[in-house]
Structure formats: C-alpha cells, structure tokens
Amino acid sequence: PFVILNIETINIILINLIENAIDAFYEDKGNNLIKISVSSTSNLLNLLIEDNGIGIPEEEIDYIFDPFYTTKEEHGTGLGLYLVYNEVKKYNGDISVESEYGIGTKFLVSIKFE
C-alpha cells in the first residue's frame, strides 16, 4: 500500500506544523523538543508531530484551523493550520490535535492508502 502526495502538500503540512511547534517553545527552556513519527495501520498513513512547547489553551482549540485565527500577536497570519487542514482534506484525510497548556501539543495527520 502507498500514499501519493505531491511535494507541495508535504511541504505545507510539515513546514507549518514544525514552524508552529518551534513558535510554541519557551525561550528560556533548554530542552525544547519536536518528535516526528510516521506509522501505518491497515489503511492509514499516520504522521504524528509532538512538541513540549507552551501548548494551546483549551478555549482556543476549536478555532485553530479557522482562516486568519492566530495566537501569534506580532507575526502570525492565521493561515498555517488552515492550509494544513485543507491539504489533509484534499486527500480525504483527518487531522486532530491534543494539547495541554504548559505541557505541549500533538498533531495527528491520517491519510488513507490508495
């Protein structure tokens, strides 16, 4: 089984999720980590991106995939996660997020095999 994604889709998904993880790090914390893992089930390719950054407040989770919604006051456009969401949906995939404020965030992207 395989998944065919064009390079632009891969860039949009990976770059935006990784940049968000980097932006979420505490400046004074010395052990900032991003964990990227790829796995598969019988019909899904799963991409998990985890960080130990500041996390997303619970009251904001429902809005993070909305266009122009940002928590980055000075440099965010609010389009990164919106673009990720749309690219994942183009491939009939799903994206979910788990986050605990002060602990970190996990994004799971699942795309069906062809």
Q: If residue 11 lies in a helix (H) or strand (E), which one and from where to where?
A: helix 7-23
pLDDT of 78: 83
Q: What is the identity of the amino acid at 82?
A: Y
Q: If residue 23 lies in a helix (H) or strand (E), which one and from where to where?
A: helix 7-23
pLDDT of 111: 92
pTM of the model: 0.89
**According to CATH, what is the number of the domain 7-112?**
3.30.565.10
Q: pLDDT tens for residues 36-73?
A: 999 988 889 999 999 999 999 999 999 999 999 887 76
pLDDT of 1: 61
Domain boundaries, the chain: 7-112
| pLDDT band with cut points at 50, 70 and 90 for residue 99 | very high
Residue 24: closest CA among 67, 68, 64: 64
